[in-house]
Structure 1
Amino acid sequence: MKVKVYGADLTAWVAAASLARAGNDVIIEGPETQLQKPLQDISALRDEPGLLVQIQLQMDEGRLKRTGGEECATNIHWLALEHNEFQIAQHIIRGLGKAVPENLLIVNQCNFGVGATDQLQSLLNEDANQVVVYIPNNLQEGKALQGFSQPKRITIGSENNWAITMTRSLVRPFLQNIEHLLLMSSREAEFTKLAITGMLAIRIGYINELANLADQMDVDIDTIREGMGADPRIGNHYLSPGCGFGGQNFNQNIARFSDIFEKRGQNSLLKTVISENEIQKELLFKKLWQHYQCDLTDKTIAVWGASFKPGTASIDNAPSLKVIDALLAQGVNVRVHDPEALANLELYYDDTPGISFCNNLYDAITEADALLLITEWSEYWSPDYQKLLEGMRMPLIIDGRNIFDREALEMYGFTYMGIGR
């Protein structure tokens, strides 16, 4: 099939790469400022594991091209715009409606909100099979290619039989390991997408709330979490306490869903989750501040993990930013290690004094008065404890993801603080 993808962010590039890899001839259209950039300078490609290589491969094979708006002979168009580009989507839809008078399939994968697909559809003639179908954007940064090509579920939001058939044919290569293929109206699919995101956020917020209470009541949240997860009505998914969640899409979707409740005069748990998550991001700094009795003068603090989660170089809304900002405000010497995100962190802080970027995790802890673990990259799970002990000035570890063995660390002589432990 011939497919045109519209967008400039991670979602668009992942869709383009995956559709091309499946054998389609794909054109990706974005703004001229993006088209002039070399591929390696586009952060969406650089930050996502494997994406830049796959894009280059598909371009070399001739199945994927970049365009600046040229017409292409295709009746299938894929919208992967950012959440604030609804007017751009309307402009695209109007143009396509005139250019392709019948049998026009438009897949909307944008997070515009509930009812957006219906609004786009109103610009077209459904009787002539000019149809907008909604497929939720379930992209997870760090696993984006795998999530698109090997999804566990696909939701198709449409009640037009022709469009459903065409869409199923388009996504057929990605149905090999599917557990659920869900058909519903576009409005129901849009609502479902936001409802799932909201539920995950509430689970994270609740377990963090429990962990903070466990700290005060001298119980171990890991034991509590194990007991909760053993209940089949609850399970273990998204039930790990930590120092807050980040990521651009996740935060935006939660905030947007919360706004929907507010506009209809309803209180929402999500508003509390959002505000409490921002407070949770400061938790490691607070623990450090209290440990040193509100005096961090001449302290050197090591930070392991800057990206908002493992598997990505993105620092969008990352908890590390709040922690580092608080440390720098106290005049602390901050030494940061991250396997992927250092380049983005250097750009973000842009010669800010007091912060050093370390390519080796053990360089970061040299003469440190504490180690703050923020992102649970796999290489942090089992460090050389003796090397840590010898390299640090003060043997204090504050574990923002509860990945370390507390008993082992205390046996080595470390002071250990976790989340609810």
Structure 2
Amino acid sequence: MNVKVYGADLTAWVAAACLARAGNHVRIEGPDTQLHKALHDISALRDEPGLLDQIELQMQAGRLQRTSSSDDKINIHWLALEHNEFATAEQIIQNLASAVPENLLIINQCNFGVGATDKLQCHLNESANQVVVYIPNNLQEGKALQGFSQPKRITIGSQNDWATTMTRSLIRPFLQNISHLLLMTSQEAEFAKLAITGMLAIRIGYINELANLADQMGVDIDIIREGMGTDPRVGSHYLDPGCGFGGQNFNQNIARFSDIFEKRGQNSLLKTVISENEIQKELLFKKLWQHYQCDLADKTVAIWGASFKPGTANIDNAPSLKIIDALLAQGVHVKVHDPEALGNLQKHYAAEPLISVCEDAYEATQAVDALLLVTEWPEYWSPDYEQLLQSMRQPLIIDGRNIFDKAALELYGFTYIGIGR
């Protein structure tokens, strides 16, 4: 099939790569400013594992091209624009309506909000099979290629039989291991997408709230979490306490859903979750501040993990940024290690003399007064504790993801501070 993908961020590039890998001939259209950029200079490609290699492979095979032309006669179009580009989507739809008068399929994978697909459909003639179908964007950074090509569930938001059949044909290569293929209206699919995101945020917010209470009451949140997880009505999914969640899309979707409640005069738990999550991001700094009795003068602190989650170089809304900002405000020298995100961190804190980025995790711990574990990259789970003891000035570990064994660390001679432990 011939497909055109619109967008410049991770969602667009992943869709283009996977559709091309499945044998389609794909053109990806983004802003003119991106068209002439070298591929390795595009952060969406550089930060996502395997994506740049896959894009280059599909371009070499001739199945994927970059373009800024909008006058072609392709019948299948894939919208993967930013959440604030609805006007751009409308313009694209209007242009296509006149260029392709019948049998025009448009897949909307944009996070525009509930009712957006119906608004786009208003510019088309459904009786001539000009149809917009909504497929929620369930992309997870760090696992984006796998998530698109091997999904566990796909939702198709459409009430048009022709469009549903054509959509299923297009995504057929990705249905081999699927558990659920859900068919509903586009508005229901848009609502369900935001509802799922909101539920995950509420679970994270709740377990963090419980962990903070456990700290005050002297109980171990890991024991509480285990008890909760064994109840089949609750389960253990998204019940890992920590120092807050980040990521641009996740935060935007939660805020947008909260706004929907507010516009209709309803209070929402999500508003509280959002504000409490920002407070939670500063928790590791507060624990450090309390340990040193509000005196961080001349202190040096190591941070392991700067990206907002393992598997990505993205630092958008990452808890590490709040922690680093608080440390810098106190004049603390900060030494950071991250397997992927150091380049983005250097750009964010350009010319900041108090920050050192370290290519080696143990280099970051040399002569430090504390180690703060912020992002739970796999390589941090089982460190050389003897080496840490030798390199650190003060054997203090503040574990923002509860990945270390508290009892074992204390046997080694560390002072261990976790979340609710």
**TM-score normalised by length of structure 1:** 1.00
Counterpart position of 1:89: 89
Correspondence for 1:274: 274
> In structure 2, what is the equivalent of residue 410 of structure 1?
410
In the aligned structure 2, how far is the partner of 1:385 from the partner of 1:405?
A: 11
What are the equivalent positions in structure 2 for 1:164-183 lying under 5 Å apart?
Answer: 164-183=164-183
Distance (Å, rounded) in 2 between the aligned partners of 1:22 and 1:192 = 28
Question: What CA distance in whole angstroms lies between the structure 1 residues aligned with 2:41 and 2:148?
Answer: 23
Q: CA deviation at 1:136?
A: 0.1
Which residue is 1:235 aligned to? 235
> Partner of 1:71 in structure 2?
71
- How do residues 21-420 of structure 1 correspond to structure 2 at under 5 angstroms? 21-420=21-420
> Distance between the aligned counterparts of 1:240 and 1:70, measured in 2?
46
- Is the contact between residue 246 and residue 317 of structure 1 (CA under 8 Å) also seen in structure 2? yes
After superposition, the C-alpha distances for 1:335-357 in whole angstroms (9 at most, x for unaligned) are 00000000000000001120000
Secondary structure in structure 1 of the residue aligned to 2:390: helix
Deviation at 1:73, TM superposition (A): 3.2
2:70 and 2:307 mapped to 1: Cα distance?
A: 37
What is the rounded CA distance, in whole Å, between the counterparts of 1:370 and 1:225 in structure 2? 27
Where has structure 1 moved over 2 Å in runs of 4 or more?
70-73
Kindly tell me the number of residue pairs found equivalent between the two proteins: 421
SS at match of 1:397: strand
Which amino acid in the other structure matches residue 128 of structure 1?
A: A
> Aligned partners of 1:332, 1:83: CA distance in 2, in Å?
37
SS in 1 for 2:89: helix
After TM superposition, give the deviation of residue 72 of structure 1 in Å. 2.7
What amino acid is aligned across from residue 116 of structure 1 in structure 2?
A: A
The letter of the residue matching 2:71 is: E
* 1:28 CA drift (Å): 0.1
- In the aligned structure 2, how far is the partner of 1:70 from the partner of 1:273? 42
Report the AA paired with residue 44 of structure 1. A
Shift of 1:70: 4.5
Return the offset for 1:71. Answer: 2.8
Distance 1:253 1:130 in 2: 28
* SS of the residue 2:398 aligns to: strand
What is the rounded CA distance, in whole Å, between the counterparts of 2:199 and 2:250 in structure 1?
12
Q: Deviations over 1:34-55 (max 9, x none)?
A: 0010000000000000000000
Contact 2:4-2:78 within 8 A present in 1 as well: yes
**Match of 1:187, as an amino acid?**
Q
Q: Tell me the distance in 1 between the aligned counterparts of 2:230 and 2:368.
A: 39
Contact 1:110 1:136 in 2 (8 A): yes
What is the alpha-carbon distance in structure 2 between the residues aligned to residue 68 and residue 94 of structure 1?
A: 17
SS in 2 for 1:361: coil
Q: Which stretch of the first structure deviates more once superposed, 255-264 or 63-72?
A: 63-72
Amino acid at match of 2:73: A
Secondary structure at the counterpart of residue 362 of structure 2: helix
Is residue 28–residue 67 contact of structure 2 (8 Å, CA) maintained in 1? Answer: yes
Q: 1: distance between equivalents of 2:388 and 2:406?
A: 15
Q: 2 CA distance for matches of 1:234 and 1:248?
A: 27
Amino acid in structure 1 at the alignment position of 2:189: A
- Note if contact 1:2-1:73 (Cα within 8 Å) is conserved in structure 2: no
CA distance in 2, matches of 1:159, 1:386: 62
Q: Is residue 108–residue 117 contact of structure 2 (8 Å, CA) maintained in 1?
A: yes
- 2: distance between equivalents of 1:333 and 1:165? 59
CA distance in 2 between counterparts of 1:196 and 1:279 reads 23
How far, CA to CA, are the matches of 1:225 and 1:70 in structure 2? 53
Q: Distance in 2 between matches of 1:159 and 1:180?
A: 18
Structure 1 unaligned runs (5+)? Answer: none
C-alpha distance in structure 2 between counterparts of 1:7 and 1:319, whole Å: 27
The alignment yields a C-alpha RMSD, in angstroms, of 0.5
Contact conserved, 1:153 with 1:178, CA < 8 A, in 2?
Answer: yes
Q: 1:298 is aligned with what amino acid? A: D
Question: Does the residue aligned with 1:294 lie in a helix, a strand or coil?
Answer: coil
2-structure distance, mates of 1:59, 1:36: 15
State the Cα deviation string for residues 263-318 of structure 1 (Å, max 9, x = none).
00000000000000000000000000000000000000000000000000000000
Contact 2:5 2:15 in 1 (8 A): yes
Asked whether the 8 Å contact 1:406–1:416 carries over to 2, the reply is: yes
Conserved? CA contact 1:228–1:236, under 8 Å: yes
CA–CA distance in structure 2, aligned partners of residues 341 and 301 of structure 1: 18
Task: Name the CA distance, whole Å, in 1 between partners of 2:408 and 2:208.
Answer: 24
d(CA) in 1 for partners of 2:233 and 2:46?
A: 40
1:20–1:63: 8 Å Cα contact kept in structure 2? yes
Q: Alpha-carbon deviation of 1:69? A: 1.6
- Residue 68 of structure 1: CA displacement? 1.2
Conserved? CA contact 2:73–2:100, under 8 Å: no
User: Residue 5 of structure 2 corresponds to which residue in structure 1?
Assistant: 5
Work out the CA distance in 2 between the residues paired with 1:353 and 1:167: 53
Aligned residue type for 2:210: L
Cα offsets for 1:212-269 (capped at 9, x unmatched)? 0000111100000000000001111100000000000000000000000000000000
Residue type of the partner of 1:254? I
Residue type matched to 1:236 in 2? S
What's the CA shift string for 1:69-110, capped at 9, x where partnerless? 253331000000000000000000000000000000000000
